[in-house]
Structure 1
Amino acid sequence: MPNAKGGSGKKRTAGRGKTSKQLAQKSIPKSSGSPESDDTSKETFDVEAIIGDMEYHGVHYFEVKWKGFDESENSWHPKADLGCPNILAQYMRTRTKNTADLTKFYDLLQDAAGLTISIVNTVDNVECPENFKYINENIYSEDVPRPCTPMFWCECTNSCSKDCECMEDSSYDEHGLLKAEGNERIVECGPRCKCDNSCANRVVQRGSNARFEIRRFANKGWGVVAKQRLMQGTFVAEYVGEVISYDEAERRGLEDKAHGLTYLFDLDKEFTGDIADFSIDAKTHGNVSHFFNHSCDPNMSAHAVYIEHRDPRLHHLAFFTTREVSAGEELTFDYSPSVAEADGLKMDTCYCGASNCRKHMYY
């Protein structure tokens, strides 16, 4: 089941419903019982609302929104532990039940390190992506070199100071948000920098704090919805998969085109030649970004990010929000922003629903 993040706050003694705000330590319970909990945290808190549910190995869990706490503090609890019958009854009257057993999908997400991800399918009986493994960082094929271009390093302790050269060239503001006027290329503090992981210039390598819902859509298949409000410039996720050579990408691309689907992303953000030397394929190995859908009016863009080296052929790819994103809004990017019909690519119908929809997308 999704992570249940804990939080601190004064003890509450009144409200529409109360229950123990347990802190789950794992994404999925190890057994069919309750999520693991910290006994010292079993205080009474007010339940503001129940906003989601799931069945996992025969146990019915509910996502609880706590009164006085941010959505990031939502947590999951089995029905037997809830002490808010009126709120539960109201939720059950209005909920739309999943049409598929998502247990295998939740099992697959056990490897989603540090992320809070729930799953919803109310449109068909598809249970889980086939032949897909969740990974948290790129896998490099044997014929792909591991670059070792030296990176500048600083002597800062804790977080980099404002006068540090790293911060002078940083693409982030003091809150770790991508600057609106920031360059396409992002250079973060590297492994030889003395600053720690709290540094404002270690955003992508620190990981995403966003809460996600993987949702099944009619016509579009799986997509990803933000479960909380995201400010403009927020790091959402790195695009990870298998890093492969140009020749291998060409071979896989032809196969994917025949099946009408591709997850190839060329590493050409700063490449000036005719073709990119390497690509990332997230078809069978990837993270939550594997499920991002296309939109002609997207709310995310991809940026080249350098952490360990500055080889422009093998940069990281990271998605950042291009505007504020509301809770419940689908996270999207433009699959082919500069593609024209003359490019000779395969065309498919676009179902993004944007007011400026181009009606077709190409791959």
Structure 2
Amino acid sequence: MTRAALTAKTTTALTYIRKEYVRRLKKVPGAPIHLYNVVDSSTPSLQFKYIPEYVLREGVHRASSEAQVGCQQCSPHMGRDIGCEYTKKCDCLEYAAVDESRITDPEMIAQYEDYKLNGGDSMGFPKKFPYFAEGTKIQRTGALVPFYLNSRRPIYECNDKCKCGQYCRNKNVQFGRTVEVEIFKTPTGRGWGLRCKKDLHEGQFIDTYRGEVITDAEATRREEASLSKAKASYLYSLDKFADTENLNVEEIYVVDGEFMGGPTKFINHCCEPNCRQYTVSYNKHDCKVYDIAFFACRFIPAGEELTFDYLDKDESESQELEEPGEGAIPCLCGAKNCRKWLWT
């Protein structure tokens, strides 16, 4: 009788936790987020808090709003009614990568070589907007163009101070997630995962990685206090511009998404991923706080688990792993070219 009573109480508690979690999911802005579990009776922790944007902790500061500038030569109606039309007029692209493949004129080649050597203004060189504009194939509208999709180049979007209008072609990630996702319990022992309810096209935006933005010192303290190396999977260093801006390690901020964030917390690792994370900035003068956005790096059919490479590096960085040591975490992604270990 006692055992039956305990079982009933446990079942009631589990049901309450599940209903409460689903209730909270319904309050998250954007397209619906679903919860699915036919593996066991567990539910993600109610201690996790869903937030719409970063929460800046002690010692973390964004660049002053006065430092944020917008494009002033553009307008909402420049021909196709899509906002910015010409990269040479969009001031938001000042620090965007130059499309070197389009520099063919001898005089421009010489100017570009001088620019690379001595620095200066790059606005006169050919560049690309990061997203396919409205009017292209429906599968491409708003998706990353190959110039960005197949690289690690930072993306600079227009902002509220721009004159290009609310629906400029160069605004995307800032509007938030528009795809319907499902948090599900994986049957392969990999915990919770995330998948989409509809097909995702190559280059389509999924969502950002959110959490607490903390100092490097605080990130080190939290990682050392953790009992598992898995803590590293929730920590993202905002170090994209560390080299170009000569930032010291202690100056770099870190995003901790373990206890608060968005559904992207549940995206698992895979050595052959279908998603990739990109740097997205709305203030070209803020090199320390920017968004980390997930995009589909290939076509992803509905129901396929979303994955990215936890050890994803810029092209110049090595992908080799050290031999596993004590406490090493094995990789369970099952990919053909699996590296076997996540953290060694």
Superposition TM-score, scaled by structure 2 size? 0.71
Q: Structure 2 vs 1, CA of residues 249 and 343 (structure 1 numbering), >3 Å: closer, same or farther?
A: farther
Q: Structure 2 vs 1, CA of residues 317 and 339 (structure 1 numbering), >3 Å: closer, same or farther?
A: farther
In structure 2, what is the Cα distance between the partners aligned to 1:289 and 1:146? 23
Aligned 8 A contact 1:147 1:311 in 2: yes
Aligned 8 A contact 2:209 2:264 in 1: yes
The structure whose RCO (Cα within 8 Å, separation 6+) is larger is 2
In structure 2, what is the Cα distance between the partners aligned to 1:334 and 1:279? 18
Q: Which residue of 1 aligns with 2:85?
A: 162
Aligned 8 A contact 2:84 2:164 in 1: no
In structure 2, what is the Cα distance between the partners aligned to 1:360 and 1:334? 12
Please report how far the alpha carbon of residue 169 of structure 1 lies from its aligned counterpart in structure 2 after TM superposition. 4.2
Q: Which residue of 2 aligns with 1:297?
A: 272
In structure 1, what is the Cα distance between the partners aligned to 2:172 and 2:326? 35
* 1:249 aligned partner, one-letter code: A
* 1:207 aligned partner, one-letter code: G
* 2:83 aligned partner, one-letter code: C
Q: Which residue of 2 aligns with 1:91?
A: none
Q: Which residue of 2 aligns with 1:90?
A: none
Aligned 8 A contact 2:197 2:302 in 1: yes
Q: Which residue of 1 aligns with 2:261?
A: 286
Q: Which residue of 2 aligns with 1:341?
A: 322
1:233 aligned onto 2:203: yes
In structure 1, what is the Cα distance between the partners aligned to 2:325 and 2:132? 41
Q: Structure 2 vs 1, CA of residues 345 and 267 (structure 1 numbering), >3 Å: closer, same or farther?
A: farther
Please report how far the alpha carbon of residue 115 of structure 1 lies from its aligned counterpart in structure 2 after TM superposition. 1.9
Aligned 8 A contact 2:183 2:266 in 1: yes
| Structure 1 or 2: more strand by fraction | 1
Residue 326 of structure 1, aligned match among 301, 316, 319 = 301
Please report how far the alpha carbon of residue 245 of structure 1 lies from its aligned counterpart in structure 2 after TM superposition. 0.4
Residue 132 of structure 1, aligned match among 39, 48, 51 = 48
In structure 2, what is the Cα distance between the partners aligned to 1:298 and 1:348? 18
Please report how far the alpha carbon of residue 197 of structure 1 lies from its aligned counterpart in structure 2 after TM superposition. 3.0
1:246 aligned onto 2:205: no
Please report how far the alpha carbon of residue 307 of structure 1 lies from its aligned counterpart in structure 2 after TM superposition. 0.8
Q: Structure 2 vs 1, CA of residues 257 and 356 (structure 1 numbering), >3 Å: closer, same or farther?
A: farther
Aligned 8 A contact 1:349 1:360 in 2: yes
Query: CA-atom RMSD, angstroms?
Result: 2.6
Q: Structure 2 vs 1, CA of residues 300 and 221 (structure 1 numbering), >3 Å: closer, same or farther?
A: same
Q: Which residue of 1 aligns with 2:142?
A: 176
* 1:195 aligned partner, one-letter code: C
* Structure 2 SS opposite 1:197: coil
Query: What are the superposed Cα offsets for residues 313-342 of structure 1, whole Å, 9 maximum, x if unpaired?
Result: 212111111111111111111011336226
Aligned 8 A contact 1:141 1:244 in 2: yes
| Structure 1 or 2: more helix by fraction | 2
Aligned 8 A contact 1:100 1:125 in 2: no
Query: What are the superposed Cα offsets for residues 204-261 of structure 1, whole Å, 9 maximum, x if unpaired?
Result: 0112221101100131111101111111111111111000000001011122353643
1:350 aligned onto 2:309: no
Q: Which moved more, 1:148-157 or 1:236-245?
A: 148-157
Q: Which moved more, 1:240-249 or 1:335-344?
A: 335-344
In structure 1, runs of 5+ residues without a counterpart are 1-57, 59-97
Q: Which residue of 1 aligns with 2:18?
A: 102
1:270 aligned onto 2:241: yes
Equivalences, count: 267
* Structure 2 SS opposite 1:228: coil
Superposition TM-score, scaled by structure 1 size? 0.67
Q: Structure 2 vs 1, CA of residues 204 and 343 (structure 1 numbering), >3 Å: closer, same or farther?
A: farther
* Structure 2 SS opposite 1:108: helix
In structure 1, what is the Cα distance between the partners aligned to 2:320 and 2:47? 30
Q: Structure 2 vs 1, CA of residues 142 and 111 (structure 1 numbering), >3 Å: closer, same or farther?
A: farther
Q: Structure 2 vs 1, CA of residues 328 and 135 (structure 1 numbering), >3 Å: closer, same or farther?
A: same
1:255 aligned onto 2:255: no
Please report how far the alpha carbon of residue 194 of structure 1 lies from its aligned counterpart in structure 2 after TM superposition. 2.2
Superposition pairs of residues 207-222 of structure 1, within 5 angstroms: 207-218=176-187, 219-222=189-192
Q: Which moved more, 1:142-151 or 1:158-167?
A: 158-167
In structure 2, runs of 5+ residues without a counterpart are 1-11, 94-126, 134-140, 313-318
* 1:157 aligned partner, one-letter code: P
Superposition pairs of residues 67-146 of structure 1, within 5 angstroms: 102-146=18-62
* Structure 1 SS opposite 2:147: coil
Aligned 8 A contact 2:17 2:46 in 1: no
In structure 1, what is the Cα distance between the partners aligned to 2:335 and 2:197? 21
